[in-house]
Structure 1
Amino acid sequence: MPNRETQVSDRVVVIGSVNIDHTVEVARFPHPGETLLASSLTSSVGGKGANQAAAAARSGASVLMVAAVGNDAEGAQALATLASAGVDTSGVHRVADARTGSAWITVAASDNTILVAPGANYQWSQGLPSLRQSDVVLCQLEIPVPLVESAAVAARGRFVLNAAPSVRLDDDLLRRCGVLIVNEHELAESAGLPDVDAADTQRVIAASRSLIARGTSAVVTTLGGRGAILCTTTTTLMAATPPTPEVVDSTGAGDAFCGVFAARLAAGDSLGTALRYAVTAGSLAVRHPTAQGGYESFARLPDLVDQTPSIIEEPRP
């Protein structure tokens, strides 16, 4: 896609999806063909791109959001919510003949399932802005993969890809990734493996290194309540999750991790420091309902990050 001539001076540019999340809470997930009564229904702004942009901005980064929403009330709601989080929305295009993307989230205990209707997220008509002055470009896979590939080519700062939803990644895209962020399911899909058990640390490391061998510089695997593992060509780092009083809603935890990780890289932090901040952000996010409900607490991250257990460093044999 051709670049516009507009110059971008923001430190973090998030290119991704914007949705309206419709969240229902239930005691357990329904079986196929079963009807359950939900205890609550809420609607809020979400989408992996919007969540990650809000998380980065709430943690203090200067953030530009590049996205597409419908020319509808939901699109206006999304723009207003992003702006209130401190995100520059001048890169968000309103598509006249499309609806803003929607996500339907079922929350049961500490887990969730999500169905997404992409809407405008898959009807981009604008090109990308110039990315020459961005320190970090952060993408996900809720937008067309060719657009992500174009962003990876255009990025002059560090390109960070959250490979979610999971797909098998092309080696050309992997080679342009400064950091690839995945959960265990996305790690398996990206590496072409049948499955990876998050509890099997050595298998996570082996799968990560297989992706590094294909070209990416670093792989971060989020492990839910256990924290995250970062692998590079020479080193493995692990950060454990600090104590969390109660898991209310895990929907926005992964996006909180990605947004804060990108923000800390843009601030000049090392991979290890960025990892600790990101894990701490994820632990804060799960304490509040809705995807972005806990992001306002990210101003406290510098005071809380020392509660994240020390990183374990394991040199590669």
Structure 2
Amino acid sequence: MSTSLQSPAPKLAPTLTVVGSINLDITATANRLPSPGETVGGGVLRQQPGGKGANQAVAAARLTGHSRMVGAVGQDDAGASLLSAMSAAGVEVQDVSRAEAATGTALVLVDGGGENQIVVCPGANASVSLEGVTFADDEAVLCQLEVDQEVVLEAARQTKGFFVLNAAPAAPIIPELLERCDLVIVNETEYQLIPALRDAPLVAVTYGGEGSAIFVDGERVAGAPAVRVTDIANTIGAGDAFCAALVLALQSGLEYTHALSVANAVGADAVRDSSSQPALQPLEHYVEATRTAAQPA
């Protein structure tokens, strides 16, 4: 992967497969989040598609026109609805199984500034399997830690192309899994909570309003400032959109700084949307919009 200062023209949109969680998000939005033992009134309730895996797959599909999801939902109305929503966004869902368990659910509280608290009930996500799933030689594979880590390890073993782990939620990582990662993506809190990442070959870290950076063998080699956003609607899907965009940008041949700038711009658009699976422009839009900013002065 090039770290030169010049950004080559992007390649044809790469193929991205996401292995991970699919949830129904039940979201209550209020002016502020309650303290322990406190009840806050005046909330607005909404149900929408979610799950880190599904969010990333949908973001990839909206950026490039297509992606693939490997996961599991229940044999219930929620599962059918989530499959329909992903398919409508351009995600191939033939490798999403229907489990006996209920579809995974996330209970989300969001305040007026977009900050959130989340409780996840895994449900069918505990049944994710790679049985019968194959990966092409040129396929990038993106996983998270909302499904069994042994499944993620098996995905890493089977990946012939570029394997990426979004190590969220933070947890100790199986040593073999970390060794097989071509890229690990975390936020600054997760980076602090997983000491093994200090020695990882390639790590991308997000810093919220301070932007993002890439570390090679523990050394910071690139960074990009955040895009200033004043009209924040929801921060839940922003990190997932960032992950999908960064993988696609790197796979398209962009150098590190430009790829981070693209991912930051995608994340900024995501927080302006109230959905956990926000509407996005094509990847090429963000590549061109950030091209000048990514060049050295």
TM-score range, shorter chain: 0.7 to 0.9
The counterpart of 2:206, out of the listed 211, 222, 234, is 222
- TM-score, normalised by the number of residues in structure 1: 0.83
**Higher relative contact order, chain-length normalized (CA < 8 Å, sep 6+):** 2
Which residue number in structure 1 is paired with residue 104 of structure 2? 101
Contact 1:287/1:294, CA 8 A, preserved across alignment: no
1:301 counterpart letter in structure 2: Y
Query: Any idea what SS the aligned residue of 2:194 has?
Result: helix
Which residue number in structure 1 is paired with residue 26 of structure 2? 22
- Measured at CA, do residues 148 and 222 of structure 1 come closer, stay the same or move farther in structure 2, by a change above 3 Å? same
Indicate yes or no: 2:293 matched with 1:290.
Answer: no
Contact 1:58/1:299, CA 8 A, preserved across alignment: no
Contact 2:29/2:109, CA 8 A, preserved across alignment: yes
- Measured at CA, do residues 170 and 145 of structure 1 come closer, stay the same or move farther in structure 2, by a change above 3 Å? same
- Aligned counterparts, 1:122-271, within 5 A: 122-124=126-128, 127=131, 129-191=133-195, 211-213=197-199, 216-233=200-217, 236-271=221-256
RMSD (Å) for aligned C-alpha atoms: 2.2
2:205 counterpart letter in structure 1: T
1:131 is displaced (CA, Å) by 1.5
Which residue number in structure 1 is paired with residue 6 of structure 2? none
1:211 counterpart letter in structure 2: L
Distance in 2, Cα, partners of 1:61 & 1:219: 27
2:214 counterpart letter in structure 1: L
- Count of matched residue pairs: 282
Distance in 2, Cα, partners of 1:240 & 1:223: 9
1:120 is displaced (CA, Å) by 0.3
Distance in 1, Cα, partners of 2:152 & 2:133: 13
Distance in 1, Cα, partners of 2:118 & 2:291: 32
Distance in 1, Cα, partners of 2:19 & 2:295: 30
- TM-score, normalised by the number of residues in structure 2: 0.88
1:173 is displaced (CA, Å) by 1.3
Identify unmatched segments of 5+ residues in structure 1.
1-9, 192-209
Indicate yes or no: 2:259 matched with 1:274.
Answer: yes
Contact 2:28/2:43, CA 8 A, preserved across alignment: yes
Identify unmatched segments of 5+ residues in structure 2.
1-13
Query: Any idea what SS the aligned residue of 2:59 has?
Result: helix
What whole-Å deviation, never above 9, does each CA across 1:256-293 have from its counterpart, x for those lacking one? 00011122233233333322211110011001102113
The counterpart of 2:78, out of the listed 52, 57, 74, is 74
Distance in 1, Cα, partners of 2:180 & 2:254: 20
